[in-house]
Structure formats: C-alpha cells, structure tokens
Amino acid sequence: MEEKLVTLAHGAGGKQTAELIDSIFKSNFKSKNLTADDAAILNPPIGKMAFTTDGFIVSPFKFPGGNIGKLSICGTVNDLSCMGAKPMYLTVAFVIEEGFPLKDLEEIAQAMAKTADEAGVEIVAGDTKVAGKGQVDGVFITTTGVGQIMEGVDLSGAKAKDGDAIITTGDIGRHGCAILLSRDSYGLTADVKSDCAPLWNTIKSVLDTTKDIHVIRDATRGGVGTVLYEIAEQSQVGIHLDYAAIPVDDAVKGVCGMLGLDPLYLACEGTMVIFAPNDKAQAIVKTLNKGKYSKKAAIIGHVTNDMIAHVVVKTEIGTETLLPAPSGELLPRIC
Amino acid sequence: MLSKDIEKAKSIIMNYDGPPIKIMEVCGTHTHEIFKLGIRNILPNNINLISGPGCPVCVTPTEFIDEAIYLALEKNITICTFGDLIRVPGTSSSLGDARSKGANIQMVYSPLDSVEYAINHPEQQVVFLSVGFETTTPASCIAVRNAKNIELKNFSILGANKTMYQAYLALKDAADAYIYPGHVCTMTGMSELYKLRDEENVSGAVTGFSASEILSSLAYIISETQKNKPFVANLYPRVVTEEGLIKAKTLVENTMESCDSIWRGLGIIEKSGMKLKKEYIDYDARAKYDIPKIVGKPNKGCKCGEVLRGDIKPFECPLFSKGCTPEHPIGACMVSNEGACSAYYKYGENLWKKN
Amino acid sequence: MCVGLSARVDKIKNGMAVVDASGVKREISTELIENLYPGDYVMVHAGIAIAKISSTDEDEVNKIMETIKDAK
C-alpha cells in the first residue's frame, strides 16, 4: 500500500483540510472545549494566571523517549509549572512540510493527546498550515498555554537567596544526549532515552510539601549550566556547585567523555532546577524521590553572597573553579 | 574522600616554597583539565604554569581556514571537520559563517567517518580538514590509505598536520620543565624526550589526563626540579611505552613526509609539518583543486604568539576580553576550548582579576 | 589536543573493533595495536585505538608518589 502523505491541498482550507483535522487532530484531541469555531470560549482561571508560548523544531522529530508532539506539550506544561501554575488550556499550531507521512503525523498527535491528558491540560484550539517541500524540516509545532497559579506560590528567577539549596529534579542532560545520538553524526550508540516528561504533577507534589520555594526553572535548551548562570545573574547571587553530587546517567557521561562535552550544557526536557531555603531542601528531595519522573532528584549546590553572577564548581579534588559560562553552539572537542 | 596519593600530591604543590619554577603544559587537553580541576587556584606564587602550543586548533594558521572556506564556497565541496575548527576565524570569516552562507560543513568524530561520508555521498566531493599532532595524524593516514585502496574518487584531505619535536626545540627556553603530552608520546615513545634532555637540557614528565595523574606529575616535577639536573620521566606508563607505537610510525612514514609548517603565532617552524607523499597526491586537496596561494592576515593586535611561547599571560594581551572573547574570537587561542586565552577567560576570571 | 577516552574492547574483527565506554559503543580502528582481545582496555582518539591500557591510574599514581621520597 502506498504511504499517505501530507499535500499542499491539506493546507488549502477546503475539504481536505477538514478531513485532515477530523481524522488526525479531532480524533485525538478530545477536550469538550476544543473549538470548531474561530476561538475557544473558556472559563477563566481563578486568581492569578500564567500565560506562555513556545515553538518546537527538532531533528529527528522522533527520538528515544518521545517525539516532537510529546515535546511540544511538555515544553509548555513545564513552563507553566515553573511558575507554580496548574496547566489548564493549550493551543497548538502546526506547520507541516508537504510530503510528511500522515502516519507520523498521527503518531505525533497521539503523543500530544496522551501527554496533555497526563498533565491534566485541555487542548482547546489548533491551526494547521502546510508549507512547500524544503520550506520546513518535517513538522514544526507551536504551543501556547494558560495556567492557574497555585495560591500562596510566588516564584521568580530573581528570588534566589543566600543560603538557598539548589535541587535538580532528576539526572541531567539526557534529552540533549538522546538527540545527539539519534542524529547519528558521530557513530555512537548508547541506551539513552530523552527525559522528556510533563512535570506538573512533580512540581505540584513539591508545592504541596512547601510553598516556601524561591525559583523553579526548566533546564531546557542550554541545560542546567545555562539555567544556573541565568539565575545567578537575575538574582545577583553566587552559585556553588558540588560537581560530584550532580546526577548524570553513566551513558551520558560516556558520550560527553568521548566528545569532550559537559552534561551541564546538554538540554533536559523533564528536569527542573529548584532553589529553596536550605531547611526545606531535604523534605523536597524526599518528596521528589518518590515521584514518577524525579527519582534521581538531588541537592547539587547552594547559593552564596560572594562570586556574584558566577557559578563556582567544587571539583573532584576538592578545589574550586568557575563553571565556564555558556557560549554558542555546542561543539565536540576531539583533536 | 580524596585518596592519600592525591592529598600528598596536593600538599607538595600547595606547600612549595623553593625558588620560582616555570612549568609549561604543552598539551591543550592538559590546559583544559588543569583549569577544569581548579589546579591553578591552589598553586603558590612561585609556581608559574604556562599553557603551551599543544592545541592543533590554536596553531592552525589563518590561511588554512581561508583555504577550507574557499573549497566550501567557491568549489562547492563538502567539508568534513572536527567540531573544534568550526568557529576558528580565518582572515575574514569562519567555517561556521560559511555554513550560514550555504556551505556543506559536516562535523565528524574521526577521519574514517569522512571516508564513510564520501562513500555514502558519491555525488559530492568531500575534503577532510586534517589537523592534529602525532596522535591524530595516523587516523588521517588510515583514512587516505583506505580511500586509495578502494580507489575512492571523491575524497581528499586538506593537510595541516604537525609534529611536536621541533616545537619543543623552538620553546626549549620557555620553561624549567614541561608536562609532556601523554597521547602524543603514546605514538612517539620516549626517545626524542631523552634526546631533548641529553642534548638540550630540557626536563619534563610524560603525563596522563586524570586528576591524580596531573597532580602527581606536578608534584614529581616540583620535587625533581630541586635536584638541578635535567630529567625525563614517563609518568603515564599504563598507556605510553618506551618505543611508542611502531605500527603507527610505519603507517605515517609510508603515507606522509615531513615539510615546513606555519604555526599560528609562532611562524614557520622547519620540518614541523607532515604532508602526503607523492603516491597519495590524488588525495591531497591542495593538488587536486589547485587552490590559489592564500596569504592569511591575522589580526595585528593579537598576541597569540607571545601567549603560546609563555612570554605573556593571556590577560596581558590588549585584546583579551576587549573585543576578543570566546563568542567573538580574534586570535586562535580564544577559539578552541583548549586554547590558553579561552581557558583563562572561561575559568580564570577570578584568577586574572587577582593578578 | 588529543582528547582520549579509555574503552573496553567488546568485539574485534579485521582491524576494527566495537568498544564500550560506560555503555557508549562505537566502532573504531584497532589496526595499530597488536595482540588485542575482547575485554582489553584501549585509549581511543578520533576513531582509532592509540594504545592498550595496562593498568589503572590509581596504581600508576601510587608508584609515582612512592618515588617522591624526600617529600614531606
């Protein structure tokens, strides 16, 4: 049987567009609020709301541990979660390359529905465009989300304080590593799955333990290292890391060793960095260690009033050095 | 918990109170590890660690990048390269810039991968940028030999391979002792280092790359320097043998021959380069594509040469952090993660502020 | 220069081997190393084995520190 492909007609707004929407999107996105009109009519959140958007391009669109669909839901769910907001509504916009297999699109839509369901968020509106061959790489997705901020929670990247403990909710760098391996550029094989996961339930469990949390940030592009520099700058504090305490999967370490990369700068898609008062840290980690996506959570460092805007690493030999600040494209170091 | 040996080595280093010692780590990977391990931050003032010329990216001349960009943009050739070279500035742009203009630049882990790439893309002409010292050169030789064996027509290399011995000689007065590059010595063995000791009074220790290997080597050098007698030691015997890797030497001798070579910052060093022999001329991109003679123009303010020789510290260069940063490198030492300036910039901020 | 990583030889055939470094596998050339068998450790650089590794760095460092006798 010949493979069915997305054609320019699917994006022309006529009968074929309606067919595509019905067969792939409506059949998967089952929210009662999913609109057939020009905009969704919704009940607003109570109290304060969080509102965010994110675009997703990833090559390859499918990777161990997920695909671009799952990623696009996790990304926006996690951005809302970082502000202490329960994700309520999402919109999704697709730009699809002419010739993209319909069965792959179906797989992407299924992953989106499943992930949204798990995070308890409704997909309420969508858009589909088809671009000519070569104008986009497979499929690009943009998701926009609204969430309701939990009462008593006040999170911001500017709120890290002297004495705060720094926690990662899991082992770091797995998404970046999985993508690097899927691209097969360096002939390496390893069993590394992306950590891509919707973390609202994880964050909720933390906020149910204590509302006394200063910063939560999603360590996506740029990895944990980039987040730490952002927070050090935004909060005007110093950050001290205990390198040995940072949870890193062995295979991720192996890949980094071979290519001269630092896992602190590989992207995560299901790992957050949390800054909280030191006396709350143990309880938070204990809660996290029981969670589905945060079994490897650990305290990796603390905040100080010296070395403002810098990240200092305690090394394996007990000395201190700066963590190099993030810069540009990650390039393997070989020769 | 640190091992007793690491504690002892650290204590020898931190408590050294004898006459000033200058130690040069030749290898860029040592430079990188020494910064990453924070070893510079525990050195007493009378130990001066200098970062030498052992980063092939740093010493690769401007015109080499210009040649690669010429091939990529003017001849529409696919360039396969180690990621290290992507951001190195040529006279007016880098390979990264060329990629933005549509050049096909592929990052590879091994020269052998670029042969694979050529086999899998017969419609493209592929050139591998062959940089590196003794450690890396054999991989390029295997790639070229394999390509010749299967009469691969769309593969060649642009060579800038270098050997260390002449560089040691050129820098023999820059330091009291050298941390010799463990992986170069894997190939060369110990004989040329004995020669340097016996004929030139040059001292040093072949060193591995783990924290304990670097610390114990520093402790060893400090303790040997006190004896005021030239010394050479192989402190990496689990990997480096007396005779080196004979098969690698034979392979390289059969494939390449020595030539003069330009080191960015140091100028021409006689017989410090390697180029393909006549019988492999079809795989030499310079011969194959008739590349015009390109004279690179390095930035005049850049003091990479003095940094590589250990004459000045990176922060003493007028461009350091003022116009020349890892994001916008001007000199080669700022480009590579292993370059002295880049390492000072990224790891050493507290250090250079203090000094 | 010359980033090297130690890896265990898993399979070896005709001068090529699959090596494993903490679960990461890659095919490399081992034609420069003689008498190599599965289970041996090699130093890998740019896709080729550049040395067979004969002991751990702990043992090696222990010997180095033994030689620095006059140190306090």
User: Which residues of chain A make contact with B338, given a CB cutoff of 8 A?
Assistant: 333
Q: Does position B1 have pLDDT exceeding 90, yes or no?
A: no
Structure tokens at C19: 């090596």
CATH number reported for the structural domain that contains residue B262 in this entry = 3.40.50.11740
CB contact under 8 A, A191 and C23: yes
pLDDT score, position A24: 92
Measure the CA–CA gap between B322 and B240, rounded to whole angstroms: 41
What is the mean predicted confidence (pLDDT) over C20-29?
Answer: 94
Which segments within chain A are labelled E, that is strand?
Answer: 49-56, 62-63, 66-67, 85-97, 122-131, 139-149, 164-168, 188-189, 215-218, 238-242, 272-277, 298-304, 311-314, 320-322
Of A254, A333, A335, the CB nearest to C24: A254
Measure the CA–CA gap between A54 and A273, rounded to whole angstroms: 19
pLDDT score, position B353: 46
For the stretch B300-346, pLDDT in tens is: 888 888 888 888 889 899 999 888 988 888 887 887 778 889 888 88
With vertex at residue B17, the alpha carbon angle to CA B14 and CA B21, rounded to the nearest 5 degrees, is: 90
Q: Tell me the CATH number of domain C5-67, given options 1.10.287.130, 2.20.25.90, 1.20.1440.230, 2.30.30.140.
A: 2.30.30.140
For residue C16, the distance in angstroms to the closest alpha carbon of chain B comes to 11
Q: How many residues does chain C have?
A: 72
Probe site for chain B from C52, C54, C61 (most B CB atoms < 10 A): C61
Chain A, 187 to 216: residues with Cβ < 8 Å from chain B are 187-188
What is the mean predicted confidence (pLDDT) over B268-280?
Answer: 96
Of A319, A324, A332, the CB nearest to B37: A319
Q: Helix H segments across chain B?
A: 4-14, 28-36, 56-59, 62-74, 95-100, 111-120, 137-149, 165-170, 182-188, 191-200, 211-225, 246-255, 285-289, 304-308, 340-347, 349-354
User: Which residues of chain C make contact with B142, given a CB cutoff of 8 A?
Assistant: 29, 31, 48
User: Which residues of chain C make contact with A190, given a CB cutoff of 8 A?
Assistant: 23-25
pLDDT score, position C69: 66
What's the gap between Cα A261 and its chain centre? 20
Confidence of residue B354 (pLDDT cuts 50, 70, 90): very low
Confidence of residue B167 (pLDDT cuts 50, 70, 90): very high
Pick from C39, C46, C32: nearest CA to C18: C39
Structural domains in chain A, CATH included, are 8-149 (3.30.1330.10), 164-322 (3.90.650.10)
For B176, other C-beta atoms within 10 Å of its C-beta total 17
For the stretch A135-181, pLDDT in tens is: 999 999 999 999 999 999 999 999 999 999 999 999 999 999 999 99
The kind and range of the H/E element at B129 are strand B126-132
User: Which residues of chain A make contact with B38, given a CB cutoff of 8 A?
Assistant: 313, 315, 317, 319-321
Pick from A37, A36, A12: nearest CA to A26: A36
Of C29, C50, C62, the CB nearest to B186: C50
ipTM rounded to 2 decimals = 0.93
pLDDT score, position B295: 84
Measure the CA–CA gap between B310 and B201, rounded to whole angstroms: 19
Probe site for chain A from C1, C22, C29, C41 (most A CB atoms < 10 A): C22
pLDDT score, position B154: 98
- Domain holding B274, by residue range, is 58-163+244-289
User: Which residues of chain B make contact with C46, given a CB cutoff of 8 A?
Assistant: 82, 109-111, 132, 135-136, 139
Q: A237 to each of A230, B173, B337, how far by Cα in Å?
A: 10, 44, 26
Domain-located, residue B335: no
CB contact under 8 A, A333 and B131: no
For B315, other C-beta atoms within 10 Å of its C-beta total 17
Domain-located, residue B14: no
For the stretch B25-69, pLDDT in tens is: 999 899 999 999 999 989 999 999 998 888 888 888 889 999 999
Q: In what order do the strands lie in the sheet with B232-234?
A: B47-54, B21-27, B177-181, B204-207, B232-234
Measure the CA–CA gap between B217 and B203, rounded to whole angstroms: 13
Domains: count for chain B? 1
Please enumerate in sequence order all residues whose Cβ is within 8 A of that of B328, keeping only pairs 6 or more positions apart, or say none.
none
Measure the CA–CA gap between A251 and A191, rounded to whole angstroms: 7
With vertex at residue A189, the alpha carbon angle to CA A97 and CA B158, rounded to the nearest 5 degrees, is: 80
- Find the residue in C nearest to A185 (Cα): C26
For residue A329, the distance in angstroms to the closest alpha carbon of chain B comes to 9
In a 3-state reduction of DSSP, which class is residue A198? coil
Asked if the peptide bond before residue A60 counts as cis, ω within 30 degrees of 0, the response is yes
Looking at chain A, the whole-number percentage of residues with pLDDT higher than 70 is: 99
Question: A133 phi and psi, to 5 degrees?
Answer: -50, 130
What is the mean predicted confidence (pLDDT) over B173-199?
Answer: 96
Structure tokens at A180: 């690097």
Looking at chain A, the whole-number percentage of residues with pLDDT higher than 90 is: 86
Please enumerate in sequence order all residues whose Cβ is within 8 A of that of B241, keeping only pairs 6 or more positions apart, or say none.
B186, B189, C51
For the stretch B91-106, pLDDT in tens is: 889 999 999 999 999 9
Listing DSSP states for chain C in one string gives ----EEEEEEEEETTEEEEEETTEEEEEE-TT-SS--TT-EEEEETTEEEEE--S-HHHHHHHHHHH-TT--
Of C1, C46, C61, the CB nearest to B27: C1
CB contact under 8 A, C54 and B239: yes
**Strands B256-263, B267-276: parallel, antiparallel or unpaired by DSSP?**
antiparallel
Looking at chain B, the whole-number percentage of residues with pLDDT higher than 90 is: 73
Confidence of residue A215 (pLDDT cuts 50, 70, 90): very high
For residue A250, the distance in angstroms to the closest alpha carbon of chain C comes to 6
**Strands B177-181, B155-162: parallel, antiparallel or unpaired by DSSP?**
unpaired
Of C1, C33, C54, the CB nearest to B55: C1
* Cα dihedral value B181, B183, B188, B190, nearest 10: 60
B217: contact with C, CB 8 A cutoff: yes
For residue C40, the distance in angstroms to the closest alpha carbon of chain B comes to 13
pLDDT score, position A12: 86
Probe site for chain A from B13, B49, B58, B82 (most A CB atoms < 10 A): B82
pLDDT score, position A214: 98
For residue B162, the distance in angstroms to the closest alpha carbon of chain C comes to 12
Looking at chain B, the whole-number percentage of residues with pLDDT higher than 70 is: 98
Probe site for chain A from B1, B30, B346 (most A CB atoms < 10 A): B346
- Find the residue in C nearest to A260 (Cα): C3
CB contact under 8 A, C24 and A258: yes
What residues form DSSP beta bridges with B130?
B159
Q: A129 to each of A6, A12, A36, A296, B324, how far by Cα in Å?
A: 10, 8, 16, 40, 44
Measure the CA–CA gap between C35 and A231, rounded to whole angstroms: 53
Please enumerate in sequence order all residues whose Cβ is within 8 A of that of A227, keeping only pairs 6 or more positions apart, or say none.
A217, A218, A219, A273
For the ranges A79-93, A189-203, A248-262, B271-285, which has the lowest average pLDDT?
A248-262
- Find the residue in C nearest to A177 (Cα): C24
Structure tokens at B219: 């402790």
For residue A4, give the DSSP letter.
P
